[in-house]
């Protein structure tokens, strides 16, 4: 009986600066060492989503990863390679791991669309065991470094207890596989965790904590089209002048987690790379009627499209927030700009948090306007020396894919592209290229399609 959960994204736990001597990191598989050493520096994590594609091609679960499906090839891939081989974005991510040995790729399971499927399998020993074994099998087969669980959200105490037990089963399965390797490796297990009080107060945080490596705090979506008035969607602090503009705040959420025994350096602060729109409004804290057209979804704009033409941008350092407002169209958009990003980076350092996380990488700007790089510049310092530096894994002897088992020797497109990027760009710039290549883009949503219902 097989059970495997649906993936809606791949998360990247990585050093986002490749560095000046990138080819010095092109080490052999034999250089993989146990990653039990302590690496106290900041984490930088970004979600690479499966559905942000440039074309409408559909892909299937199995054959699309092998040499039989030509549509998943990237430049540099062989058209007549023997055997059963891994291609598409998963191959490109593995090649980036070879270039940047600090880059780790985690499969994130769940999300708002699929989280209703967690409760049943998490409620029994057999369900948790099948979930864990099938999820870890994907890690071993696809060249991944761990798992991220995004259950939005456990609804009651029974769900919360089962969440703890599910994480325990996953931790044991990951450790069992890691210990079975010729050189033991600790695979990462993380959770995407809520910043809303009604959700985090339901969780058994202290019981969850021993099983996970860090918490990806989803400190955004504090306001949106569901709100009664316009408000900030990702503010650090509450407003002392108009509480309606900050219905939630990040400082309170972090304080609650720490109060439940979570050490600050395990809390990774999540930030949005998008804006929430409010239409037909007179400004912040005011009634509105509907939402703007957005970039890919009504009411949601990619950060790279902001501020909308004609809008004026405002920044408030007292709440750690920013927004734009167009007096002519009467549209307000709440989002983090570069000044807020830098303020949040300083907040991370001041509070001793574990780093930064973003949803999601394809929506960012490039160059000096990038939210990711503005934060990494503060946390990472010169050459990225302030970022977490434990090594990733390149040895996957149990994979069904011939090229992954052999370490993908003589494969080049991602590695060559990444090595040619400026040191301030690195892996994330190439990851965004995987999003936008209109011919070669390959959708990762096929990874686990319908597997929540497989029994």
Q: Is the bond preceding residue 307 a cis peptide, omega within 30 degrees?
A: yes
Query: How far is 271 from 290, CA to CA, in rounded Å?
Result: 24
- Do 84 and 67 touch, CB atoms closer than 8 A? yes
Query: How far is 56 from 442, CA to CA, in rounded Å?
Result: 10
- Determine how β-strand 355-359 pairs with β-strand 43-49: parallel
Task: Give me the catalytic one of 81, 152, 251, 416.
Answer: 152
Q: Which residues are within 8 A (CB) of 315 and not within 5 positions of it... i.e. 6 or more apart?
A: 321, 322, 337, 339, 340
Q: Indicate the SS3 state at residue 448.
A: helix
314 φ/ψ angles, rounded to the nearest 5 degrees: -125, 145
Query: How far is 269 from 304, CA to CA, in rounded Å?
Result: 21
Q: H or E segment at 335?
A: strand 331-335
Q: Indicate the SS3 state at residue 15.
A: coil
Quickly tell me which residue has 């390149």 as its tokens: 394
Query: How far is 422 from 363, CA to CA, in rounded Å?
Result: 20
- Do 240 and 318 touch, CB atoms closer than 8 A? yes
For residue 63, indicate whether it is catalytic.
no
Query: How far is 353 from 370, CA to CA, in rounded Å?
Result: 21
Among 27, 52, 7, which Cα is nearest to 431's? Answer: 52
Active site residues: 152
């Amino acid at each position: 009986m097989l059970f495997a959960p649906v993936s809606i994204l791949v998360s990247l736990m990585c050093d986002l600066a490749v560095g000046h001597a990138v080819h010095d990191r092109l080490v052999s598989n034999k250089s993989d060492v146990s990653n039990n050493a302590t690496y106290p520096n900041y984490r930088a994590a970004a979600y690479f989503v499966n559905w942000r594609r440039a074309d409408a091609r559909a892909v299937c679960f199995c054959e699309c990863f092998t040499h039989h499906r030509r549509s998943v090839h990237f430049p540099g891939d062989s058209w007549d390679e023997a055997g059963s081989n891994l291609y598409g974005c998963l191959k490109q991510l593995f090649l980036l791991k070879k270039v940047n040995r600090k880059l780790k790729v985690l499969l994130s399971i769940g999300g708002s669309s699929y989280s209703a499927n967690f409760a049943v399998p998490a409620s029994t020993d057999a369900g948790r065991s099948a979930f864990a074994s099938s999820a870890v099998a994907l890690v071993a087969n696809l060249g991944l470094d761990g798992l991220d669980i995004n259950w939005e959200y456990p609804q009651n105490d029974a769900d919360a207890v089962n969440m703890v037990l599910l994480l325990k089963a996953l931790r044991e399965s990951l450790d069992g596989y890691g210990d079975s390797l010729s050189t033991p490796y600790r695979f990462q297990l993380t959770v995407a965790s809520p910043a809303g009080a009604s959700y985090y107060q339901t969780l058994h945080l202290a019981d969850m904590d021993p099983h996970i490596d860090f918490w990806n705090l989803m400190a955004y979506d504090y306001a949106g089209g569901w709100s009664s008035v316009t408000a900030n969607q990702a503010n650090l602090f509450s407003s002392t002048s108009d509480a309606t503009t900050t219905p939630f705040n990040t400082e309170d959420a972090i304080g609650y987690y720490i109060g439940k025994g979570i050490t600050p350096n395990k809390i990774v602060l999540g930030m949005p790379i998008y804006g929430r729109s409010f239409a037909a409004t007179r400004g912040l804290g005011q009634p509105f009627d509907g939402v703007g057209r957005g970039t890919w979804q009504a009411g949601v704009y990619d950060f790279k499209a902001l501020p909308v033409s004609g809008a004026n941008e405002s920044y408030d350092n007292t709440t750690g927030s920013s927004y734009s407002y167009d007096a002519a169209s009467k549209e307000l958009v709440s989002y983090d700009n570069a000044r807020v990003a830098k303020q949040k980076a300083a907040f991370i350092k001041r509070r001793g948090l574990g780093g930064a996380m973003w949803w999601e990488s394809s929506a960012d700007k490039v160059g000096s306007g990038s939210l990711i790089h503005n934060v990494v510049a503060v946390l990472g310092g010169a050459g990225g020396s302030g970022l977490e530096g434990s090594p990733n894994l390149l040895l996957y002897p149990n994979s069904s894919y011939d090229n992954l088992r052999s370490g993908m020797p003589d494969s080049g497109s991602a590695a060559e592209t990444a090595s040619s990027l400026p040191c301030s760009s690195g892996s994330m710039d190439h990851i965004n290229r995987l999003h936008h290549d209109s011919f070669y883009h390959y959708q990762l949503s096929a990874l686990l399609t319908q597997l929540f219902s497989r029994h």
